[in-house]
Each structure stands twice: as structure tokens, then as C-alpha cells.
């Protein structure tokens, strides 16, 4: 063997070793990248309850502030244009029990106030409908009253249930 053939063999062996080292390093980098990705997924799963708890706490503090400022979640908070007490009671009734007919609303308002006349309730419903606070839908031979989508959206935003 000549020096040149030994040098060529040594160079070939060194190149092979270097190639193997580079391949091993590339494989290790791939494996570490995979493990980091798995850890990130686990971390996001672990942090989700904390994020949910933070949102719940923010909503709770918002509600507590409303309770302190206004004495409760009353129609005045979201619907300052509703001035008279009977209309406020109608809104409360429809918040508690959506989709009621005039007889049901009259009875529920009567339970809250001690007295309520169907004629007055009908007038207040017409006023609230004109202000786009409630909507009337015909079901068979009866009309059903409910809060409008806009009012429901305002309430859910106020409660922090939507944005």
C-alpha cells in the first residue's frame, strides 16, 4: 500500500464517520423537535383550565361590580330607556321565562307586583315592541312574546358570556 491509498482510505473513513455523525445529529434534532412539540401540546392542555378560571374570575368580578353599582342585574343596567316599573317587570319576566303569551306574562307580572291588568300589560308590550326590546310572534291563534336578539346579545355581553 502506498501512502496515497492509505490517505484515500483514511479520508473515505473520515467522510463516512462525519456523514454518520451528521445523520445522528439530524435524527436527534428531529426527535427533540418532536418531543418539544408534544410538551407544548401538554402545556397548552394544562394551561387551559387556568385560562378558563381567569375568564370566570373576570366575569365574576364584572358581575360583582354590577351588583355593587346597581343593586343587581336589573333591566336598567342594559336597557336604560325602559323607565316604568311595569315594563321593567315584563322584561324581567321574559328574561326568566322566554316565549310567553300575554296571559302568562300578566300572571307572572302579577306574581311579582301583586297586581297586573291584562290591558296595561298589552299596552306596555306594544311600547316595548315599538322600542325593539321585545318581539311578537304568532303561534297558532296566540301571540308569543320574547326579548329581541339584540337585547339578548346585550345581556350575554354584560354577563361576559359573549363578545
What is the C-alpha separation between 78 and 131, in angstroms, rounded? 14
- CA pair distance 127, 136, nearest whole angstrom: 12
The H-assigned helical ranges of the chain are 3-70, 75-78, 85-96, 102-113, 118-130, 149-158
* Cell numbers standing for residue 6: 492509505
Instruction: Count Cβ atoms within 10 A of the Cβ of residue 54 and give its class: 0-12 exposed, 13-18 middle, 19 or more buried.
Output: exposed
Average pLDDT, integer, range 33-61? 83
- Domain spans, the chain: 1-72, 75-158
Residue 111 has pLDDT above 90, yes or no: yes
Q: Was domain 75-158 assigned CATH 1.10.10.10?
A: yes
DSSP H helical segments within 83-145, as ranges? 85-96, 102-113, 118-130
Q: Could you tell me the pLDDT band of residue 22, with boundaries at 50, 70 and 90?
A: confident
Candidate ranges 3-12, 74-83, 97-106; pick with highest mean pLDDT: 97-106
Q: 78: pLDDT confidence band, cut at 50, 70 and 90?
A: confident
- Greater model confidence, 133 or 52: 133
Q: What local confidence, expressed as pLDDT, does residue 57 receive?
A: 72
What is the C-alpha to C-alpha distance for residues 132 and 130, in angstroms, rounded to an integer? 5
Q: What pLDDT is stored for residue 67 in this prediction? A: 61
Q: How far are the Cα atoms of 5, 10, 13, 66, 142 from residue 2, in angstroms, in the given order?
A: 5, 12, 17, 94, 109
* pLDDT tops 90 at residue 60: no
- For residue 35, give every residue at least 6 positions away whose Cβ sits within 8 Å of its Cβ, in sequence order, or none: none
Amino acid at each position: 500500500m502506498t501512502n496515497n491509498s492509505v490517505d484515500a482510505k483514511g479520508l473515505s473513513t473520515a467522510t463516512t464517520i462525519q456523514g454518520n455523525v451528521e445523520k445522528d445529529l439530524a435524527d436527534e434534532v428531529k426527535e427533540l423537535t418532536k418531543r418539544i412539540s408534544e410538551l407544548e401540546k401538554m402545556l397548552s392542555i394544562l394551561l387551559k383550565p387556568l385560562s378558563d378560571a381567569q375568564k370566570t374570575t373576570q366575569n365574576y368580578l364584572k358581575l360583582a361590580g354590577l351588583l355593587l353599582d346597581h343593586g343587581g342585574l336589573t333591566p336598567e343596567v342594559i336597557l336604560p330607556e325602559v323607565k316604568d316599573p311595569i315594563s321593567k317587570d315584563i322584561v324581567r319576566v321574559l328574561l326568566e321565562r322566554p316565549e310567553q303569551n300575554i296571559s302568562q306574562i300578566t300572571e307572572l307580572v302579577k306574581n311579582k307586583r301583586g297586581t297586573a291588568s291584562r290591558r296595561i300589560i298589552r299596552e306596555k308590550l306594544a311600547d316595548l315592541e315599538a322600542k325593539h326590546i321585545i318581539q311578537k310572534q304568532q303561534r297558532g291563534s296566540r301571540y308569543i312574546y320574547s326579548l329581541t336578539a339584540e337585547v339578548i346579545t346585550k345581556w350575554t355581553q354584560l354577563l361576559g358570556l359573549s363578545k
